[in-house]
A and B are shown apart, each in its own frame.
Chain A
Amino acid sequence: MLKKDKKAPGFSVIVIGGGHAGCEAALASARIGFDTALITISRADIARMPCNPAIGGLAKGQLVREVDALGGEMGLCIDEAGIQFRMLNRAKGPAVWSPRAQADKKVYHRRMLKALREEKNLTLIEGEATAVAVRNGKVEGVAIAGGEGIGGKKVILALGTFPNGIMHIGEKQIPGGREGEPPSCLLSDQLAGLGIERRRLKTGTPPRLEKSTLDYSRCQIQPGDDDPVPFSFRTRRLQPDQVPCYITWTNGRTHEIIAANIDRAPLFTGQIKGTGPRYCPSIEDKVVRFRSRERHQLFLEPESRESEEIYVNGLATSLPADVQERILRTIPGLEEARIVRYGYAIEYDFFPPHQIHRSLESRKIEGLYFAGQVNGTSGYEEAAAQGIVAGINACLSIRKEPPIFLDRHQAYIGVLLDDLVTKEIDEPYRMFTSRAEHRLLLRQDNADERLMKYAVRYRLLGKELWEEMICRRRRVERARRRLAAETVPADRCKGILKEILPEKGAQPRLATKLLQIPGVDLEEVESVLKDGPLGLGEREREMLRIRIKYEGYIRRQKKMADKMLRMDKIKIPSDFSFEIEALSAEAREKLQIFKPENLGQASRISGVRASDLSILMIFLERRNKQEQG
């Protein structure tokens, strides 16, 4: 398969798959300085969004900010490709704000392709990888259909929904990785042959409609924010000419049609066997499971400025084409709609991630990394997050350095990686803010404070941004100290609180305490400070507000995190045997499957109890002592 010739083209890192995971992986590896190849089936489909034309959203927006702070490309791409920007949850606490943008899919693809092309250590190869070359349990390269193999020290698999992909539209089944693209079967089968377990999952997408056939006057308009916030810490200004979305609803007639044709829905006939995501149900699923709902919300989102296609968010379906047509006739504004592409469901292989380390490297095959959909996740942002980590780790491994370890309290990426290696994946995994126990620490506004140091360390970003961030943080800290040391006299407090706390306002308060009262403006408090205003820029004022608002809670969360970290620091050697009789049967079984790398991970596996952890500690200690001699 591989040319024995030493001069055969060889790369340090080979990435298979030019989706959201693969692009970030390849860019990270090339930017760190390793010669990198990105093999993908079709160049025209690089960084394609097969579903929702949007990046970000709740928890996902935070992921994009984190990828950006690590020096990733996703944030920059969407800042350029965005056609409507919104900060979600703006009415709630800043800890749960999340940026989201409608993307122009075409622009996004071009912008990512440009980044790949401009990267000097990166070679783009068009073709289908059919096998990974493995010798003595170690990866050596990749075979490409109809061509010669290429050598590589590390291989990153980012195959998306392509492994043995089958698309369903009603009774029709079409092999494919996504609409209009062939599946990738050989590689998946080869991996299975190497003893890597695979299972099936399913996801789906709604029909696309032709814009000129829609009647927006019957829908509700949804504009973007007036002051759009960019995703990337590197984007200085965002000046999009924003495009609105529209909202409409299904109704009883819609639901009747679906109910009458449910026996033709592949989801219910047993034709689809993979499990779909419960947070992204198809419309037929929603109608069956929530019969009492009178209507379901639909968002009409443009796919690109350059095309007429409108995405119907909320109407994912794999019902037969004729039923899809009839459904539309019942929906206000869509009565005359022409379907450009039908909705479909897709089933595909994934490789359950208990088979990888937290670094995303395979336990079985050294040098082989898995990133994105292949790990059972779903979503562009989740994929990008894994991609950049896999890229960095492949490089670190070549340098014989330990992998990057982002903890749960450091990043949503940390939560994601940790969940992958401790939880059973029985539906496509998507990030939610509620998955993060340290949510107040993991905000979109402080991703740079949390992660940029790694980007600087691995040279994925220059120092300037990081230094700026440090200075900003210092200024904010100085201002906070000033506020914490200054007591605002009673009459001033009374003035500031006259509407908020009319009875109890007139008493002296610490400026920070004053600011913790909901409804008190930083500006107002600033105006009564002894030495005048704080002199901070807008971003810094925002940081200050957040720090003061969450002060006590953040401290508590940090304490909790420290406690958890103590457990995470107790490492479990990779050859440690969990064949310990005293362990409960359930714990023993789960530990043998997940093979946790530390005690903290062990504690997060369901079925492992406190007493099991005690027993593990005893045996870990014995081993340590024995090794010391």
Chain B
Amino acid sequence: MYGDTVVALSTPPGESGIAVVRMSGREAVKILSGMIPDAHTWETHKIHKRKIRGTDGNLIDEVLAVIMRAPDSYTGEDVVEISCHGSMLIITELIEELIARGAVVAGPGEFTKKAYLNGKIDLVQAEAVADLIAAETRLQSLVALEHLGGGLSRKVREVEDKLLEQLSLVEVSIDFSQEDIETWSAAELTEVSREIRKKLRSLIESEVAGKKLRRGIRITLLGPRNAGKSSLYNALLGEERAIVSSIPGTTRDLLRERIHIGGFTFYLEDTAGIAETGCEIENRGISIGREAARIADLVLFVIDGNSGCEAQEERELARMGHREVIVVLNKKDLGLREDESKVSVRLGGVKAVALSAKEGEGLDKLREEIFSRAVMSSAADLSRERIALNARQAASLAEAERTLEKLEREMDKGAEILSLYIREALEACGRVTGRAAAEELLDTIFNRFCIGK
């Protein structure tokens, strides 16, 4: 807690579409240089535009970054500020990357605390700084309680209970080896550890960051050939990625790209058009498209608004059932056979948006519609605390997971070593639940085992 390099999001996301991630501490410049190789050569207080990639080599975002060297910074330490797109995914990825490289998530009021300890804030303001820390702590536990619904905490507690049980078996074999009581076995410990890792993985993916938000909301373009799906795909991307042609069946593979709308990240997928054809390759493409649509978070069902909807397409739409769908009436520039409201009514209340992929008219309306659906589904997530918490929790659970992996690899090492790993995993979990489970060890032992002479 003292002397750590800390990181946090310093602006709420979603407002301006830009988020600022701030890092402070001795290691700040070094950590940044791990991601941007020339960063250590930067002049202080100068802004640089760079691409940031994750350890896996994938592009996280193109960002504006600045180093403010000590002591001329808010905290009095080396400070790095990174401005990125204000999307949940990007922010979470960026913060996780910084954590993986040695930063720790800032505690409540930590930047201000550092500023105070480094003499950047007037002495007499101690109470104010302390109040800020206390207030942010309360806020954080509120967020943890409400948004994480105690659900995550409860599940991690279950993991802790299992670990604690194994730890007590291992410890009993050390501290009470003279008693004739049951003890741990490598086979059981391995099995429990594996199970727990599986659980942690699914928690990290589903609960912690929200699966959807983590990989971005998935949007699939579906519809008959030549309706203009690829054209719309390119238009939303702002660049020519898909081949557009009047030859039906041009798109056969699934194309996927990341787009940002209003601070959210989406994955947009272009598919082959639906048609009854004899071409094997095309049929394959069509079924890939349908599969993609089936698991998508949102389907844009594109039809040629000029020629209108045919019975076959209506059947296709009906097949999607309750899925989130927006019907896009394309080629508005050529004139519409039916207007949006008529189509909507005929199709049973599905939202319809008319636009021209070619001219760009109506695109903004579509973006708005996409955005509002995203917000509806995850408005609650749009808080700074949520992101900070997410990053910390994901990092902590991932650490527990890694520790258990090591435990399994070193199963032949003896109780005193295995105990270290189990304790470490418990500590990592404890950062999510706020529980110091290892302190319950002796209670667990005395409750469970008949010990003592």
Contact = CB atoms under 8 A, between A and B. Distances in A.
A626 interface: yes
B450 A286 contact: yes
B107, B417, B420, B453 — most chain A CB neighbours (10 Å): B453
B174 A621 contact: no
A4 interface: no
A570 interface: yes
B371 interface: no
Interface string A531-572: 000000000000000000000010011000000001100100
A606 B439 contact: yes
B416 interface: yes
A297 B107 contact: no
Contacts of A313: 453
Contact of A582 (B133, B178, B415, B441): B133
Nearest to A432: B175
A64 interface: no
Contacts of B136: 611
Contacts of B1: 567, 610, 613-614
Given A89-B174, A293-B450, A621-B116, A582 B417 contact: no
B376 interface: no
Contact of A518 (B133, B174, B412, B446): B412
B321 interface: no
Contacts of A626: 123
B176 interface: yes
B452 A278 contact: yes
Contact of A440 (B416, B439, B442, B451): B416
B180 A618 contact: no
Nearest to A610: B107
A433 B175 contact: yes
Interface string B85-111: 000000000000000000000011110
A532 B272 CA distance: 74
A615 B130 contact: yes
A57 B420 CA distance: 22
A49 to B, nearest CB: 15
Q: How large is the interface on B (under 10, 10 to 19, 20 to 34, 35 or more residues)?
A: 35 or more
Contacts of B446: 278-279
B436 interface: yes
B129 interface: yes
Interface in B307-365: none
Interface string B397-417: 000000000000000111111
Interface string A148-179: 00000000000000000000000000000000
A96 B415 CA distance: 9
A496 to B, nearest CB: 17
B175 A567 contact: no
B178, B416, B434 — most chain A CB neighbours (10 Å): B416
B3, B126, B419 — most chain A CB neighbours (10 Å): B126
Contacts of B186: none
B127 interface: yes
B178 to A, nearest CB: 7
Contacts of B127: 581-582
A469 B229 CA distance: 81
B269 interface: no
A439 B423 CA distance: 12
B206 interface: no
A58 interface: yes
A279 B452 contact: yes
B113 A58 contact: no
Interface in A580-629: 580-584, 606, 609-611, 613-615, 617-619, 621-622, 625-626
B307 to A, nearest CB: 64
B161 interface: no
Interface residues of A, number: 59
A258 interface: no
A530 interface: no
B107 A96 contact: no
A280 B452 contact: yes
Contacts of A570: 2
A495 to B, nearest CB: 21
Interface string B112-130: 0100110100010011011
A162 B87 CA distance: 69
Given A280-B453, A582-B127, A610-B107, A618 B116 contact: yes
B4 to A, nearest CB: 10
A314 interface: yes
Contacts of B380: none
A296 interface: yes
A93 B171 CA distance: 13
Contact of A299 (B109, B451, B452, B453): B453
Nearest to A277: B452
Contacts of B131: 581-582
A617 B3 CA distance: 12
B134 interface: yes
B179 interface: yes
A434 B451 CA distance: 15
Interface string A54-83: 000111000000000000000000000000
Nearest to A518: B412
Interface string A79-116: 00000000011001101100000000000000000000
Given A279-B451, A290-B450, A614-B108, 13 more contacts: A92-B173, A277-B452, A279-B452, A313-B453, A518-B412, A584-B137, A610-B107, A613-B1, A614-B107, A614-B113, A618-B116, A621-B126, A626-B123
**Closest 8 CB pairs between A and B?**
A582-B130, A290-B450, A611-B137, A582-B134, A278-B446, A314-B453, A93-B414, A622-B126
Interface of A: 52, 57-59, 88-89, 92-93, 95-96, 277-281, 286, 289-290, 293, 296-299, 313-314, 316, 432-435, 437, 439-440, 518, 553, 556-557, 566-567, 570, 580-584, 606, 609-611, 613-615, 617-619, 621-622, 625-626
Interface of B: 1-3, 107-110, 113, 116-117, 119, 123, 126-127, 129-131, 133-134, 136-137, 171, 173-180, 412-417, 419-420, 423, 434, 436, 439, 441-442, 446, 450-453
24 contacts: A58-B174, A58-B177, A88-B177, A93-B415, A93-B417, A96-B415, A278-B452, A280-B453, A281-B451, A299-B453, A313-B453, A567-B2, A580-B130, A582-B130, A582-B133, A606-B439, A611-B107, A614-B109, A614-B110, A618-B116, A619-B126, A619-B130, A622-B123, A625-B123
